[in-house]
Structure 1
Amino acid sequence: MKKTFLSLALLATVMAAAAKEHKYVTVPGDPMQTRLYTMPNGLKVYLSINKEKPRVTAHIAVNTGHRNDPADCTGLAHYLEHLMFKGSKKFGTTDYNAEKPYIDKITSLYEEYRKLTDPAERKAKYHEIDSVSQIAAQYNIPNEYDKLMAAIGGDGSNAYTSFDVTCYTEDIPANEIQRWAEVQSDRFRNLVMRGFHTELEAVYEEKNMSLTNDDSKLFDAVFAQLFPSHSYGTQTTIGTQDHLKNPSLVEIQKYYDRYYKPNNIAICMAGDFDCDKVMDILEEQFGSWKPGKDTTPRQFAKQPLFTQPKDTTVVGQEKEQIMMAWRFDGAASHQCDTLEIISDILMNGRCGLVDLNINQKMLMQSAEAGSFSLKDYSILIMGGTPKEGQSLDEIRNILLGEVKKLKAGDFDEDLIISIINNRKRQYLQKMENNSSRVRTMVDAFIDEQPWEDQVRQIERMSKITKADIIAFANKHLTDGYVCGYKLKGEDKNIKKIEKPAITPIPANRDKASKFLTEITARTTEPIHPQFVDFNTDLTKVTTKTKLPMLYVQNKENGLFQLVFRYEFGDRADVRYSVINDYIPLLGTSKMSNEQIKKQFYKLACDYNISVGNTNVTVRLAGLDENMEEALALLESIINDSKADKKVYDLYVENTLKERAESKKNQRTCFGFLWEYAMHGAKNDYTNMLSESELKATAPEVFTDLLKGLSQMKHTVLYYGPRSVKDITKSVEKNHKVAKRLADIPVNKEWAWTTTETPQVIIAPYKANNIHLRMLSNEKKPLDVTAIPTTRLFNEYFGGGMNAIVFQELRETRGLAYNAAAFYSTPSRKEDPQYWVQHIISQNDKMMDCVNTFKDITDNMPQTEANFNIAKQSILKNIASERTTKMNIIYKYLNAQRMGIDYDINKDIYNAVPDMTLQTLVDFEQNNIKGKPLHYVILGDEKELDIKAIEQVAPVKRVTLEEIFGY
């Protein structure tokens, strides 16, 4: 039996006074002041007001995920998530009644197709599906949902499917709740599964990407052992390759009809709104939706206990590693309170057992520990990566050694108090963000956790004693765990994928449904933009120690951020890059590294020294009441860190192993290849100390570099509750600097590659997909006056799901899971503007991708309706955007880097209304069309059509050693 949604005896019931009375419940003392409603049809609504900016984060959570997929039709929940963006009977089509017979035919053809085994018969049947799909596509209007959301100023249209949940996400202007609700109500109640065969290929591309991800393979293998008769372990979110290639629209429809019902759904919203008015809208739009008769999820027998470790192994070309997992009760169980504390005792990023005893001492390459909760079970995970010459069994024993210490109580009792204080800090941080609030609501709904339990969790955790933790660990952290080994090798289970014969469907950009026309024609009460005024929205002062300070006051809570910013980076001196990771391993003359980390954690504060390409920042953040003590601790690190040769040698050993392992990671390899294509062999990625330089440099060099920061010119940034006067005095007193500050070193500037003639640059990586990016760079300097046009062009052509690129590469041709294009606006006035087209696709689709990109840039599709939606999207987003908190300071600094002294959004907002589609046509012809391109490819030549790509441009082959520089 399901748990009661809310314990009404423990909650305060409140009646809302509005045009219509809406009953809701709240939990006394809830910092989010969340109201919980239940409509007569069972639909749950969570509302939390946050007036920081006139926007609303709105998630619609369906209480089902891949755990409910039929065993013979896996990946179904995820399919459905994709299809939910295809429209309804009202939108996404020009004539649903005319379209329906063909959709029905496609549905029946897929049922025939999935039963065939003969390759020739399957090919013929798929050709028939493709042919009928072409007829149906005459009525289809791809991406009309995305047009609707863009038109109302929506941002972040997306969705995700996991074990227990499918959730649909939007972030909208506060004045657009009515139109948002109308669209959501229609698509959730009247879904039509159209455009299926091209979307199927996009899903398959997503599967391809997961097959080359060794982390995903290891995770799946461990869960298969942990949950041998539960869909958590027997199935994956995307599904099997066989099921993906043999889909059933009939089964998807059954799934939708069963689980997509109001009594199985929650609408979770946080932002600037009137709760009563929101409920009026939601009841109007969703109130007549009929509840489902059976939304009960799949039931599974309790997973068997095991008293001995269960081992499993996967292989792949990325780094070796190990993953261990223990199983616990589900997310709604109070057992999770203790489990989360145990997780933080093991690893909290600073002074957990794994942090101090393994990572600090560098006993292995890296180690981690953490917990996460699902509806039926929760899991504690530990993992590690070996050093050179270290076996996976060795790191397994090291990790188990920390579990043994936990069970023996070999940790400070004060650590529990520190964990609770840091949890309180994290909760305050979560309160600042609409998305974090909403995610908490979604989790509570899906996990069937009473809201009071969520609100009171830290209070409950604070009562857990060391004795409780020891007893819990000894009872549950037994030898009944799963251990997964990830070995290096060739994964022969990855199947080569045959590209299906898909005829591109028409984009039908000039068509619009009546629903779209009506929705977009309606006006709403406007939100007026507020641009940052750098003269009034932040305070600029100079301390008596001659440091400029940028200040914004925090009037919401007791959190602070204090930053010392230096306008140079590792481009000026590559040695600074080492202090990122080496300094946090050291102690001072008065405190060990372990004592430092424990003290910072006790203060609920943390520090970070970050060396970027063009700036260095030393950041301190946490509870403002502890700022002076934390700052004194930070100052001791800056000025009194003690170099340690043994620690340094271990650091170098780990660094060199990480460098070697990075050549096995597909995304990392492509990152290095792209930088090589942009700048040549000398670039930000290859700007590092060589192996010989690392080994020859004395560790005192790096502590001296850190000490030297106090002698250089820098700027102080502060966001917190203190007054300007108070923070200025505190910095003058506690931040020790030289009486006469030295000039900072000068950053080097890398050469930029010009694309004067076409060229293909290819580096090897064995996988079933390629990373492909096309570059055009004429070294045009930043033109601030062109930024509004660039912003609108990117929105129209290459930005989101309503853009030309997404429509052509994914919607009409099914060439990729994701694709994008953009004309860059550099963040510094020293850098040029350039044009990029990007896609990840199957090896045998390479030339399709190249040719499609060429087609849409040589003959850019021009659609007035799409253009107007792009304009509306930009204007509504800017009007409802508010730059607040520390972001005011960073926006000011970014403007300075671009050579301006005002909020650039003001230019964009004022210029966009007067632009025409011809403005974008002219921009494209002047900056993109016909320009020579460099085609940058990471892939396996044996699987690529090299002869075809050689017809495009001369091929330059580079090795991984060339692009990595080692």
Structure 2
Amino acid sequence: MFKKKILMLFAAAVMFSAQAQDYQWKEAKSGGYTYKYVTNDPTQARFYTLKNGLTVILSPTKKDPRIQAYVATKAGSKTDPATNTGLAHYLEHMLFKGTDKYGSLDWAKEKAELDKIDALYEQYNKSNDELQRKTIYKKIDSISGVASKFAIANEYDKMMSAMGAQGTNAWTSFEETVYTDDVPASALDKYLTVQAERFRNPVLRIFHTELEAVYEEKNRSLDSDNSKVFETLFSTLFQNHNYGKQTTIGTVEHLKNPSLVEIRKYFNTYYVPNNMGIIMSGDFNPDEAIAKIDKAFAYMQNKPVQKYSFQPEVPLTTPVVKEVVGPDAESVAIGFRLPGNKDKDALLADLVGSILTNGKAGLLDLNLVKKQKLLRAGAFTYILQDHGVLWLNAAPTSGQSLEEVQALVLNEIENLKKGNFDADLLPSIVNNIKKEKIQETEKYSDRASMLQRAFNAELDWRDQVAYVNSLSKIKKEDVVAFANKYLGNNYVAVLKRKGENKNPQKIEKPAITPVETNADKQSAFVKMVNDMPNTPSQPVFLDFDKDIQKSKLGKAEVLYVPNTENQLYRLRYRYKIGSLNDLKQPLAAQYIQFLGTDKKSAEDISKEFYKIASSFNVSTGEEYTTVTIEGLQENFDQAVKLYEDLVLNAKPNEDALKALKARLAKSRKDAKANKGAILNGLTNYALYGPKNKFNNTLSDAEINALTAQELVDRMRNLNSYEQTVIYYGPESLKNLTAKLGQLHKIPANFAVAAPLKKFAQQKQTQNQVLFTDYDMVQAETRWIRNTDAYNPANTTMVSVFNNYFGGGMGSIIFQTIRESKALAYSTFGYYVQPQKKEDSYYMMSYVGSQADKFNDAVGAMNQLLTKMPELPENLVLAKTQVKKDIQTERIMQDDIIFRYLAAKQLGLKDDIRKQTYASVDKITMDDVKAFHAANLAGKPYTYALVASEKKVNMDDLKKIGEVKKISLEELFGY
């Protein structure tokens, strides 16, 4: 549940006028409550402070019948005790375990056992004798088993599922712990009842199995080279501050020696109303919502919270270079220390990040990425409360050393310091940020996210609303002065080299007896919440004939949905040619971005698009190549002309092709060092056999033989293929087709693409293990089984089964493998629906576990695949979740068109959700059992396994099935 947050200054602006607006704090009263607001705030957020100090921020919007809600605490790993690092993150996990009112069958009996466990952990924590520690842990394990008989696992998740919540989760970072749920608007009373109880008296139950899940999370971070780079950079930059002295997940030593006493002390210190906020955006009446929140959380008592204090960092006077070694591909990370987010220079820091990288016209974009001098490069500002970091990252292309990469990136810092960038880049950045802020206020979830970030970063919302206006006042000389002030020889560089980690850390597997989860039981509190009255929203189904307007542009079909909210548009040309027709087409789509015409360079074209807050992108999938052009409607003609001119007049560039080939060679090599890519390759091998979609690629020789002209010709010929024009924007359909008739010429007859290359899904006839060796602590396993051909009549059953069996924290798989047996941090199982009517379903399950738990993890999953536990209440929850998701889902904008296109591929004429909604209540446990028996139980599977050969036993693998060691060359096809 941990995620690193890139805390930036956030704002929202709707007006594109250069005229300054007035942004002021005002006070108002409504519904008996006083609140503050900022004038000209497009989120229309109300800021309340309740009598006990609790901050409540409400941003009403009625577009979707849902509410994105956060309960946020201004406490994270920065305030962890030095003797108990990782504590804030531990606590975050435990706040899903319930209180004395829910999560327990008999609190009095459970508490007696939990008190014993508390005392044993304190003994365990203080003991250094390994034999004694094992004896104590054995007692903890034994008493935990007794205590679990009185506990009910996952009651929080079940309550949230029953009310139709989505995205139930939490995260911990340096300065925040945030709990997130997206709930139906009709469930607001239930949500507030549950949250108020959740933070009243949390109980640290089922602790040692959850602790093991945190161990697993730590092991995943130990397997991540990116995590190692992050920790190395921060620990070097910040030697006096907990940003660098401590990690959010904690040290191995502290994870092995938890103190429940310290966890409760932390909760009592920081989880107080004056240090917390409730942030909500969505469909609610703010007068009613604030009264309900006040009543629910009035029990919380204000307590003083001591601010974190720290010693200033010693200025860096010379560069510090560190090295990290691991199996992933090489890269360079460079960090400059900046002031915190309250400093007057924080605004400039954000702008500097955009000048270096904005995806189109930044210094790194134009000078390094566009010219293909590196495999990739980027920059961003990571601004926290006490300090900030300008973070630059880059990866080498073929034949390039990390030192050369570092020099190229630092040269762009020198260009920044010398002012070697266009003066009109600043207004272009402002114009693009204005467009982004419009997009951020369109969705209730984005609004809530912006407000939550500002709350936890302790930023003044007035400054955030005025952000674009303030940004527009910055001059080039201000940027140059900032760069020269902060960006000298005072950086830390982390060189990530490829190699074997000689000092691997790992948390050893403790002896854990599976605990009871009582998954079929229910507390009185949960029943009370479930019985609370509410009026659910009525579902809104798509009518493809009414919700999409259709027209013709020559022989091309035009699919149109109007934008009635703002002046943004998205235009797409969807061509019926993809990688399954022509393996060179994806490369042509990449190549075009590096080309100019006889009148404009590639850099000129990028700058022109960026100036008008527009962009274009060409991407090739298996069957379609899609061109996307988006921006402000007032610049529609200009943006489309820019793209059309580039495609018609693109000039072959041999140097650009040579650089692209070098980058391709390096990215292909890097993919072989990425465990995620390897696991995906094994999955495709399991689905389709040795020749599959994953390794359907050009050979090295074929890439080397490519010519610039043939790639340019492919882009010029793209418009000759059958195509669909997709538009979402404010222009009328009549005006749109008239404009495109002049700008986008459709051929009289469409060319016929080469036949699609077919890959048939392989039927599993016996158990098989596909194994690839990788230097890692964990073992990652997927179970793959192809089943029957697509049948729309199965859609409801598949949705219910996935929710019940393996699709979330309340599912059978999660409760058994993680909650009861503590075998994995991440585990799931899905019956995957095909995207085309001629394809088949397949089952995919997953466990990521410590290598020494591999046998147990495989056994646990196999047991569930063989015999499915029957939990009637869980089935009710699964069906409820499916139904409530449909009730509150509102498909809008161009998503309507893509739902229509997806339905067509499945041979559907109508919105399949209508059928699901009508039939979901009819699903019985016998139906689910029959589905499990027909498709999963007693069937052969292909196991896709990525692990270290040194850590898993080959003889154990052979007991599962025939073992095939798959080389990287077989897997990737090159």
The TM-score with structure 1 as length reference comes to 0.97
Match of 2:827 among 819, 825, 849: 819
Deviations 1:478-508 (A, max 9, x none): 2112111212222233224421110001121
2:23·2:462 contact (CA, 8 Å) conserved in 1?
Answer: no
Match of 1:905 among 907, 913, 925: 913
> Aligned ranges for residues 316-355 of structure 1 at < 5 Å?
316-355=326-365
CA distance in 2, matches of 1:388, 1:745: 33
Matched, 1:194 2:205: yes
Q: Which residue of 2 is the match for residue 495 of structure 1? A: 505
CA distance in 2, matches of 1:959, 1:118: 45
CA distance in 1, matches of 2:756, 2:634: 37
Matched, 1:704 2:718: no
Match of 1:721 among 727, 730, 744: 730
Q: Which residue of 1 is the match for residue 18 of structure 2? A: none
Matched, 1:841 2:852: no
Q: Which residue of 2 is the match for residue 617 of structure 1? A: 626
Matched, 1:637 2:637: no
Q: Which residue of 2 is the match for residue 14 of structure 1? A: 28
Q: Which residue of 2 is the match for residue 396 of structure 1? A: 406
What is the letter of the counterpart of residue 13 of structure 1?
Answer: E
2:24·2:39 contact (CA, 8 Å) conserved in 1?
Answer: no
Shift of 1:591: 1.0
Q: Which runs of 5+ in 1 are unaligned?
A: 1-7
Match of 1:739 among 738, 748, 752: 748
Match of 1:479 among 489, 503, 526: 489
1:827·1:897 contact (CA, 8 Å) conserved in 2?
Answer: yes
**Cα distance change of structure 1 residues 331 and 580 upon mapping to structure 2, 3 Å threshold:** farther
1:332·1:447 contact (CA, 8 Å) conserved in 2?
Answer: no
Deviations 1:622-647 (A, max 9, x none): 11111110000010122221111111
**Cα distance change of structure 1 residues 219 and 9 upon mapping to structure 2, 3 Å threshold:** closer
Match of 2:655 among 633, 646, 652: 646
CA distance in 2, matches of 1:392, 1:537: 53
2:85·2:246 contact (CA, 8 Å) conserved in 1?
Answer: yes
CA distance in 2, matches of 1:883, 1:364: 40
Q: Which residue of 2 is the match for residue 592 of structure 1? A: 601
Shift of 1:377: 1.4
Matched, 1:608 2:617: yes
Query: Secondary structure of the residue that 2:544 maps to in structure 1?
Result: coil
CA distance in 2, matches of 1:621, 1:88: 50
Shift of 1:331: 1.9
Shift of 1:949: 2.8
Q: Which residue of 2 is the match for residue 509 of structure 1? A: 519
Matched, 1:117 2:125: no
1:764·1:960 contact (CA, 8 Å) conserved in 2?
Answer: no
Q: Which residue of 1 is the match for residue 195 of structure 2? A: 184
1:24·1:36 contact (CA, 8 Å) conserved in 2?
Answer: yes
2:164·2:880 contact (CA, 8 Å) conserved in 1?
Answer: yes
Matched, 1:937 2:937: no
Query: Secondary structure of the residue that 2:27 maps to in structure 1?
Result: strand
What is the letter of the counterpart of residue 631 of structure 1?
Answer: V
1:564·1:714 contact (CA, 8 Å) conserved in 2?
Answer: yes
**Cα distance change of structure 1 residues 605 and 9 upon mapping to structure 2, 3 Å threshold:** closer
Q: Which residue of 2 is the match for residue 5 of structure 1? A: none
Q: Which residue of 2 is the match for residue 947 of structure 1? A: 955
CA distance in 2, matches of 1:942, 1:538: 57
CA distance in 2, matches of 1:575, 1:357: 26
Match of 1:884 among 875, 878, 892: 892
Q: Which residue of 1 is the match for residue 385 of structure 2? A: 375
Deviations 1:729-758 (A, max 9, x none): 111111122222223443222121211111
CA distance in 2, matches of 1:323, 1:949: 39
Q: Which residue of 1 is the match for residue 923 of structure 2? A: 915
1:64·1:297 contact (CA, 8 Å) conserved in 2?
Answer: no
Q: Which residue of 2 is the match for residue 276 of structure 1? A: 287
CA distance in 1, matches of 2:774, 2:306: 46
2:826·2:847 contact (CA, 8 Å) conserved in 1?
Answer: yes
Query: Secondary structure of the residue that 1:412 maps to in structure 2?
Result: coil
Deviations 1:147-198 (A, max 9, x none): 0000000000000111111111100101111100110111112111111111
The TM-score with structure 2 as length reference comes to 0.96
What is the letter of the counterpart of residue 48 of structure 2?
Answer: Y
What is the letter of the counterpart of residue 474 of structure 1?
Answer: N
What is the letter of the counterpart of residue 355 of structure 1?
Answer: D
Shift of 1:298: 2.4
Q: Which residue of 2 is the match for residue 36 of structure 1? A: 47
Match of 2:865 among 857, 862, 885: 857
Query: Secondary structure of the residue that 2:126 maps to in structure 1?
Result: coil
**Cα distance change of structure 1 residues 139 and 297 upon mapping to structure 2, 3 Å threshold:** farther
1:563·1:618 contact (CA, 8 Å) conserved in 2?
Answer: yes
Matched, 1:290 2:263: no
CA distance in 2, matches of 1:49, 1:590: 50
1:579·1:609 contact (CA, 8 Å) conserved in 2?
Answer: no
Match of 2:673 among 660, 664, 683: 664
CA distance in 2, matches of 1:939, 1:669: 10
Between 562-571 and 486-495, the greater mean CA deviation after superposition? 486-495
**Cα distance change of structure 1 residues 828 and 297 upon mapping to structure 2, 3 Å threshold:** farther
Q: Which residue of 2 is the match for residue 4 of structure 1? A: none
Q: Which residue of 1 is the match for residue 276 of structure 2? A: 265
2:23·2:465 contact (CA, 8 Å) conserved in 1?
Answer: no
Deviations 1:433-477 (A, max 9, x none): 222211211111111111101111111000000111111111111
| RMSD, matched Cα | 1.4
Between 613-622 and 732-741, the greater mean CA deviation after superposition? 732-741
Q: Which residue of 2 is the match for residue 139 of structure 1? A: 150
2:97·2:103 contact (CA, 8 Å) conserved in 1?
Answer: yes
Deviations 1:512-565 (A, max 9, x none): 10001111122301210000110111111112x221111000111111100001
Q: Which residue of 1 is the match for residue 967 of structure 2? A: 959
What is the letter of the counterpart of residue 33 of structure 1?
Answer: Q
Q: Which residue of 1 is the match for residue 531 of structure 2? A: 521
Q: Which residue of 2 is the match for residue 162 of structure 1? A: 173
What is the letter of the counterpart of residue 539 of structure 1?
Answer: Q
Matched, 1:787 2:795: yes
Deviations 1:561-594 (A, max 9, x none): 0000123310111111102321111111221101
CA distance in 2, matches of 1:653, 1:526: 57
Query: Secondary structure of the residue that 1:941 maps to in structure 2?
Result: coil
CA distance in 2, matches of 1:885, 1:9: 30
Deviations 1:404-459 (A, max 9, x none): 11111111110000000000011011011222211211111111111101111111
Identity in percent: 40
CA distance in 1, matches of 2:806, 2:316: 52
CA distance in 1, matches of 2:686, 2:131: 43
Q: Which runs of 5+ in 2 are unaligned?
A: 1-21
What is the letter of the counterpart of residue 434 of structure 1?
Answer: Y
CA distance in 2, matches of 1:676, 1:239: 38
What is the letter of the counterpart of residue 217 of structure 2?
Answer: E
CA distance in 2, matches of 1:918, 1:496: 44
Shift of 1:934: 1.2
What is the letter of the counterpart of residue 294 of structure 2?
Answer: E
Count of residues paired in the alignment: 953
Q: Which residue of 2 is the match for residue 66 of structure 1? A: 77
Match of 1:686 among 686, 692, 695: 695
CA distance in 2, matches of 1:639, 1:588: 9
Query: Secondary structure of the residue that 2:550 maps to in structure 1?
Result: strand
Matched, 1:831 2:839: yes
Matched, 1:108 2:122: no
1:372·1:380 contact (CA, 8 Å) conserved in 2?
Answer: yes
CA distance in 1, matches of 2:614, 2:754: 30
> Aligned ranges for residues 219-258 of structure 1 at < 5 Å?
219-258=230-269
Deviations 1:58-82 (A, max 9, x none): 0111101100111111111111111
**Cα distance change of structure 1 residues 396 and 9 upon mapping to structure 2, 3 Å threshold:** closer
Aligned structure 1 segments of 4 or more residues deviating by more than 4 angstroms:
none
Between 416-425 and 184-193, the greater mean CA deviation after superposition? 184-193
CA distance in 1, matches of 2:891, 2:385: 37
What is the letter of the counterpart of residue 215 of structure 1?
Answer: N
Deviations 1:844-876 (A, max 9, x none): 111111111122222211111111111111111
